[in-house]
Structure 1
């Protein structure tokens, strides 16, 4: 680990059950609806790897297996070949659920890191809207 690598936790409280948030966020078909910082087009499955067009170019994504712990960790292989592990948790919260995404400064300038943090915050805001929209449909 280099001294310049930093981490920043971005979180969002969503007025829905942790199960509802996890179910929506873990469905890879929903990624383009809320995770614009990762998937800007339809997700292509190649075995257990997802291929997506992202703002960084074509990347591959591998999520941990579905679980009962609210863990949505995923590895993103950048066009450079560098693998970035993104820890993501859906936690119980007094007002519903809280999703926490850890952004790491890997191969990013300070300005790019700040932009990434803003993109993740916007993604989590979109996730909240989509989960609540999904709940209203039921």
Structure 2
């Protein structure tokens, strides 16, 4: 498999990284900030399903961990999986949330840039949620 062009989009959040991870690691909370995962996120065994922009998708989230890893694999169709590396790390008294995008075969430069912009908007929404709420916990 060839190496793909990659771009990491990140944002600083004025909340302790453990609080950001605690909130962002709950799949039900993704609907509040991660519009790229589609709508109607529901548990389906070990995975989750949702209605993506181009049809149904399956999502497998990384298990809870102490390292701030929020990776997930999105299955668009049988055999079509996209790894989404997502990390929360300490940044002083706050945190840094970083998502890496890969430019897939056949993806235009314009679509890749649009996806990066979409991720930036989603991360800004996460920041707004976490910086304005006192202490968000659990699914909402």
Normalised TM-score (structure 2): 0.88
Question: How large is the Cα RMSD of the aligned pairs?
Answer: 1.8
Match of 1:10 in 2: 9
Q: 1:137 to 1:123 in 2, by over 3 A?
A: closer
* 8 Å CA contact retained: 1:57, 1:79: no
1:80, distance to aligned residue in structure 2 (A): 6.3
Residue by residue over 1:66-104, the C-alpha shift from the partner in whole angstroms, topping out at 9 and shown as x without a partner, is 000000011011136411111111000025000010011
1:133, distance to aligned residue in structure 2 (A): 2.9
Match of 2:27 in 1: 28
Of residues 67, 70, 88, the one that matches 1:72 is 70
Give the aligned length: 136
Moved over 3 A (4+): none
- Structure 2 unaligned regions, length at least 5: none
Match of 1:111 in 2: 110
- Structure 1 unaligned regions, length at least 5: none
* 8 Å CA contact retained: 1:13, 1:95: no
